[in-house]
Amino acid sequence: MKRIDVIANTASGSVGPDAPQIAEKLLAEYGVSGAVHAPAPGEIGDCLRAVIDGAPDAVLVLAGDGTARGAAELAGPDGPLIAPLPGGTMNMLPRAIYGERDWQAAMKACLDGGEARMISGGEVGGRLFFVAAILGSPALWATAREAAREGKAAIAVARARRALRNAFSGRLRFTLDGRPKDKAEALTLMCPLVSSALDAEERALEAAALDPSGALDIFRLGFNAARGQWREDPSVSVGRCRVGKVWARGRIPAIFDGEPARLDPEVSIRFRPKAFRALVPRDEL
């Protein structure tokens, strides 16, 4: 590769103010030309677009889950290779690709003969995800978790109360791969990249209808889903999905790769066999 650019969000979870300088030294150490960008938090999206539009051979993204997912979505299957380095708190996509390496170890492994790997994903209502998505009331706990993580105790409590009020207020209706219509409190989708029930090359998502029986189950399920551990929950029933549709009485709360979102009352689901190309160490191929 002739050129590799690095985008470092120094305000993100585990990045730190020295990360740009460390990244520059690593590029020089491996004899790779490129630039290291350290945008302000409000400029990250514009920086991502500008760097990807500049068509380097690869873009190394050192930031949180939302930025990692955004970079992969912007690049798509025909853009530069993306290396989502672990710079956030949960690091769902980085952990799925690089295991438990820290960002410097992952960057070194990529520079030391990394290769391209096509990553599949899922799409719900036009939003992509590459690890897991959860739709329904358990996703409301994600906003409470984010506030607690940021030390905003009063906001975390208020959001937790709102999540409890909305629990069981409206179940999801859905149909998957043309099967009969069904309903559940929530629907979770997991990509082949991380699903232990799917082969890495399988052309489908793992889908689970989540139907907890009480508020305590909702609380447990919301936090398990945010950590990508929803399959272990006793209220889960699992299947496969390539296409589908979900609808509800109001806007649908969701989590995509650890990031909260709100969806329209009716959305479609589809599996994306070619979502983006990751820069992956040889031992992770």
The answer to whether residue 245 sits within a structural domain is: yes
The answer to whether residue 118 sits within a structural domain is: no
Q: Taking the CA of residue 104 as centre, how many other CA atoms within 13 Å lie in the half-sphere pointing to its CB?
A: 13
pLDDT digits (tens, 9 = 90+) for 261-274: 889 999 999 999 99
Between 80-94, 95-109, 163-177, the lowest mean confidence (pLDDT) is in 163-177
**CATH code, domain with 270:** 2.60.200.40
Q: Can you give the residue range of the structural domain that contains 36? A: 4-113
Q: How far apart are CA 1 and CA 239, in angstroms?
A: 40
Domain co-membership, 172 together with 248: yes
What pLDDT is stored for residue 284 in this prediction?
Answer: 67
Please name the residue ranges forming H helices in 12-152.
19-29, 44-53, 65-75, 92-98, 103-111, 140-149
Q: What is the mean pLDDT of residues 29-47?
A: 93
pLDDT digits (tens, 9 = 90+) for 130-147: 999 989 877 776 665 565
pLDDT digits (tens, 9 = 90+) for 118-177: 999 999 999 999 999 989 877 776 665 565 556 665 665 565 556 555 554 568 999 999
Q: Which of 113, 135, 152 is the last residue of a domain?
A: 113
What pLDDT is stored for residue 138 in this prediction?
Answer: 72
pLDDT at 26 over 70: yes
Average pLDDT along the chain: 85
